Structure 1
Amino acid sequence: MAGMGKRMRPHTLTVPKPLIPIAGKPIVQRLVEDIAKVCGTKVDEVAFIIGNFGKEVEKKLMEIAASVGAKGSIYYQEEALGTAHAILCAKEALKGNLVVAFADTLFKADFKLDTSSEGIIWVQKVEDPKPFGVVTLNEKEEITKFVEKPETFVSDLAIIGIYYFKDGEYLSKELQYLIDNNIKDKGEYQLTNALDNMKNKGTKFKPGKVTEWLDCGNKDSTVQTNERYLDYIKDQQLVAKSARITNSVIIPPCYVGENAEISNTILGPFVSVGNGTKITDSVVKKSIIQEKAVVKNANISNSMLGNSATFEGKPSDLSVGDFNTIVL
């Protein structure tokens, strides 16, 4: 999660993208919890590979690791040199049974991880495979080829960014080999190159298939992922007891955080409201409004408002960053 999240600006100017909330929890916390569920066994350590995000972010990440009963550790990627380089920054943590995940994607799956496999690469069929790494399969459902962002059609099975390795030390050696020999693809050290080398040496990689792949790469996809997640957890208690709802209609599913105030408003469906946010005289649907924001006289949909943002105006499709004030 060391990237700058440029496609999510202005929301990533003040917080890293994986800490943006989905249905009331940061993206990375949702990801860690979902991986822990499919592992089916105790997670010993969660290693976060980050940029210089500051001590408050690092403290939050340690809390996320502790929430699944694991030790948390922090590693830094100071220069964007590719996925293989990023993973190798956490070399000390590359041991034993290992799951590697990129923190701008969420997934839903109904299975337990088969730890007897040498390697599992989670994939999903996509209409346009060009922006992704893809795999090809043989008749035994084993992965035969890895291709990073193919310019011509090779396969429509896109790698979603979650991987299992039975031998973390072996992965570490293959990543180090790329660095030592300056083996790059499209100017960066790519994990897919290491996977291809491991396959050629006899490692059997299987495809792992998920029920749904949820992207958090930009504003629209993140709002859509928030909608899907709210639908998954709609049977849970999503409105905090301390929230104050006055003369308003909540159309579920909606998440409303602690001490939020909703008055003279129609909220929902598919809205997440952060702690301490105030919404008055408005209609809000399919949106993410973060903490301590203020919304007045608004009719908004498919929108994101950052922490401590203020919006007062008319119907809009918005992407408003932290601490902005907009009055129309």
Structure 2
Amino acid sequence: MRALVLAGGSGTRLRPFSYSMPKQLIPIANTPVLEYVVRNILDLGVTEIGIIVGDRVNEIQQALGDGSRFGARLTYIRQEAPLGLAHTVSIARDFLGDDDFVMYLGDNMLPDGIADIAEEFAVGRSAAHVVVCKVADPRAFGVAELGPGGEVLRLVEKPQQPRSDLALIGVYFFTAAIHEAIAAIRPSGRGELEITDAIQWLVSAGADVRASRYEGYWKDTGKVGDVLACNERILDGLRSSMDGEVDDVSVLVGPVVVEEGARIVRSRIKGPAIIGAGTLVKDSHIGPHTSVGRGCAVIGSRLEHSIVLDGASVTGVQGLHSSVVGRSASVGITSQSADRYRLVVGDHTQVEVAA
């Protein structure tokens, strides 16, 4: 089996961050989402992984390399324009050959893994096997209607009047039969080759198409709120480690990771929390559920339930809550009065809040 990871999307819902970084590299507990995806695929025993990339190919290659540090071999495949999920399969045909493969959206977080569903596919080896999850509003997703045995009866992309609340969550298993289906379909009304149309073509042709309901934790990290919620979920599984420096008057409570070169000075860190490599935390209170990236400075501040990306600085701010601070951003103080703030700060920006 091979894998195809889709990492070419522009991430409009994650602006301003996606203006300056691929959305698939947004860090969850100081690790890019895309790295979690690759590791989930490796857990299936799959080491040949194709990565569909767009204009941000250099940044993604820099983050993942050739895959050798994971024990994988990564092949980067350029998609010149966002022409649909089925289009990514067609341009990856030389890489995929006639092998079975798993297709995985690169901004999906499924920390509980997909090994049991991969086993279902390997045993049954249906033409296609989709992963679905019950959602409150299925209109934003591909929607599956299932029979009593888990067989797929019908798929519709973003229906205005859904006949099911089971959404496709962006993980698919295919045999080579999908290539014939993709060759037979035409672009949808939005000008894309829809993978739902290709799978529906298989259903209509009488092929065996199955679905599994995902019971674990799942987040599409396409919105800031979902990124923060997912960060909390991953931090909840944190185990303490100490590779940096903590002075005698600082206090660490609960699971806290202090990475190499980080310094904690006259501060209190309440876990779960991560302090990235080379970061200075001074006269501050951090956590719970907070991750601070590498090379940051947090001085005289209080941060809770937040994410601070690499190279950012937060100075003199008391009460930063449920916030995301972008790479190399600077958050400081002003003379106005307030006691709590919620910020979404893009990369290389500067924001002043009340002292």
Residue in structure 1 matching 2:142, options 133, 139, 163:
133
1:143 corresponds in structure 2 to: 152
Asked whether the equivalents of residues 151 and 208 of structure 2 are also in contact (C-alpha less than 8 Å), the reply is: no
Residue in structure 2 matching 1:214, options 213, 219, 225:
219
Distance 1:67-1:162 versus aligned 2 partners, 3 A rule = farther
Asked whether the equivalents of residues 48 and 61 of structure 1 are also in contact (C-alpha less than 8 Å), the reply is: no
1:318 corresponds in structure 2 to: 343
Question: Is 1:246 the counterpart of 2:265 in the alignment?
Answer: yes
Asked whether the equivalents of residues 29 and 291 of structure 2 are also in contact (C-alpha less than 8 Å), the reply is: yes
Q: Which runs of 4+ in 1 moved over 4 A?
A: none
Instruction: Give 1:97 shift.
Output: 2.5
Give secondary structure in 1 for the equivalent of 2:153.
Answer: strand
Distance 2:21 2:352 in 1: 24
Instruction: Give 1:125 shift.
Output: 0.7
Counterpart of 1:67, as a letter, is R
Give secondary structure in 1 for the equivalent of 2:305.
Answer: strand
Instruction: Give 1:276 shift.
Output: 0.7
Distance 1:59 1:234 in 2: 26
Distance 1:54-1:144 versus aligned 2 partners, 3 A rule = closer
* Aligned ranges 1:2-17 → 2 under 5 Å: 2-17=8-23
**C-alpha distance after superposition, 1:259-307 (max 9, x if no partner):** 1111111111111111110101111011110111110111211111111
Counterpart of 2:313, as a letter, is V
Question: Is 1:104 the counterpart of 2:107 in the alignment?
Answer: yes
**Structure 2 length-normalised TM:** 0.85
Question: Where in structure 2 are there 5+ consecutive unaligned residues?
Answer: 1-6, 242-256
1:225 corresponds in structure 2 to: 230
* Aligned ranges 1:48-127 → 2 under 5 Å: 48-63=51-66, 65-95=67-97, 96-109=99-112, 111-112=115-116, 113-114=118-119, 115-116=122-123, 117-118=125-126, 119-127=128-136
Distance 1:236 1:101 in 2: 31
Aligned residues: 318
Instruction: Give 1:236 shift.
Output: 5.2
| Bigger Cα displacement from structure 2, 235-244 vs 290-299 | 235-244
Give secondary structure in 2 for the equivalent of 1:108.
Answer: coil
Distance 1:68 1:198 in 2: 35
> What percent of counterpart residues are identical?
30
Q: How large is the Cα RMSD of the aligned pairs?
A: 1.8
Instruction: Give 1:200 shift.
Output: 2.6
2:163 corresponds in structure 1 to: 154
**Greater relative contact order, per chain length (Cα 8 Å cut-off, separation 6+):** 1
Give secondary structure in 2 for the equivalent of 1:92.
Answer: helix
Distance 1:54-1:145 versus aligned 2 partners, 3 A rule = closer
Distance 1:160 1:258 in 2: 34
Distance 1:62 1:175 in 2: 30
Question: Where in structure 1 are there 5+ consecutive unaligned residues?
Answer: none
Instruction: Give 1:170 shift.
Output: 2.4
**Structure 1 length-normalised TM:** 0.91
Larger Rg: 2
Instruction: Give 1:317 shift.
Output: 1.1
1:173 corresponds in structure 2 to: 180
